[in-house]
């Protein structure tokens, strides 16, 4: 089972950069996208159903903003959207597809980098989402939560960690919250179980030569319940072509969808 997650920073932009040509050759069973920045009326047939995949979208009410999507090779038993926070559900940040005893989620946490008001919204998301994560963790299902969490967890997860300790995405409160998700609730950072090397990033600023110099952040995750996390066998951050300021995170699991 191959699962890919990618913040596309605009699905129409990523499409023009060859995302769907690339996807056709990936043989993915599920693909989670974030920040689609589109309404349903903006989506082409290819965006709605790429070759061999079924598409499901949860768009933000605000045009050109946020939104998540999920493609699946097999039809889900059930698709649900939102997690019960009106503020954030209106922004299209959580889409869940159930397949037997496994659920795959495309999730997009807010960024706080636009200013204090957005950071406060991010903190509210974290407050609302933690009990949801606790409930999911103990409901007996396996979960893989794919997406842009907008938090680099540890110093190894971004290049310039010393100078970013007061910046959104690496604030002590954000990192401590993610530590609680892993250590207190028992969720697993799947990539790190397979790759403990430094310089593994999924996002690069468009400023300076961040991409060329690999001055990046690892803020895109597949975070899973322990059972399915143990079935992960191979990971890759795909950087040969660029579809966005983020890179696709690909993980293969030793199970069927």
Which CA distances in Å does 188 have to 130, 146, 175, 194, 252? Answer: 15, 12, 15, 11, 15
Burial-class residue 246 by CB neighbours within 10 Å (0-12, 13-18, 19+).
buried
Q: Could you give phi then psi for residue 156, rounded to 5 degrees?
A: -65, -15
| Contact assessment for residue 123 and residue 173, using Cβ atoms and an 8 Å cutoff | yes
For residues 36-48, one letter each, b for 16 or more C-beta atoms within 10 angstroms of the residue's C-beta and e for the rest, the string is bbbbeeebeeebe
Burial-class residue 97 by CB neighbours within 10 Å (0-12, 13-18, 19+).
buried
Kindly give, in sequence order, each residue whose CB lies less than 8 Å from that of residue 212, ignoring residues fewer than 6 positions away: none
Would you please indicate which residues are annotated as catalytic (active-site) residues?
Answer: 148
- CA 110 from chain center: how many Å? 11
Q: How many CB atoms lie within 10 A of CB 168?
A: 19
Token code pair at residue 36? 């689609």
Which CA distances in Å does 62 have to 42, 66, 124, 215? Answer: 13, 8, 19, 32
Q: Which helix (H) or strand (E) holds 42?
A: none
């Amino acid at each position: 089972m191959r699962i890919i997650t990618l913040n596309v920073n605009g699905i129409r932009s990523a499409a023009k950069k060859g995302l769907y040509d690339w996807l056709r050759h990936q043989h993915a069973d599920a693909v989670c996208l974030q920040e689609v920045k589109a309404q349903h009326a903006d989506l082409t047939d290819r965006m709605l159903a790429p070759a061999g995949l079924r598409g499901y979208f949860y768009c933000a009410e605000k045009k050109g903003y946020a939104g998540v999507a999920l493609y699946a090779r097999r039809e889900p038993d059930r698709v649900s959207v939102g997690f019960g926070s009106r503020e954030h559900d209106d922004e299209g940040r959580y889409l869940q597809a159930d397949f037997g005893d496994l659920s795959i989620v495309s999730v997009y946490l807010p960024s706080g980098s636009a200013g204090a008001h957005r950071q406060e919204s991010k903190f509210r998301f974290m407050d609302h989402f933690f009990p949801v994560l606790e409930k999911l963790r103990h409901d007996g299902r396996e979960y893989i939560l794919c997406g842009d969490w907008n938090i680099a967890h540890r110093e190894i997860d971004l290049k310039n960690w010393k100078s970013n300790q007061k910046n959104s995405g690496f604030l002590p409160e954000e990192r401590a919250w993610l530590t609680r998700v892993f250590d207190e609730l028992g969720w697993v950072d799947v990539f790190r179980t397979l790759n403990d090397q430094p310089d593994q990033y999924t996002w690069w600023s468009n400023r300076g030569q961040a991409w060329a110099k690999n001055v990046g952040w690892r803020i895109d995750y597949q975070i899973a319940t322990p059972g399915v996390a143990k079935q992960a066998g191979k990971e890759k951050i795909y950087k040969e072509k660029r579809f966005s300021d983020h890179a696709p995170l690909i993980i293969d699991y030793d199970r069927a969808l």
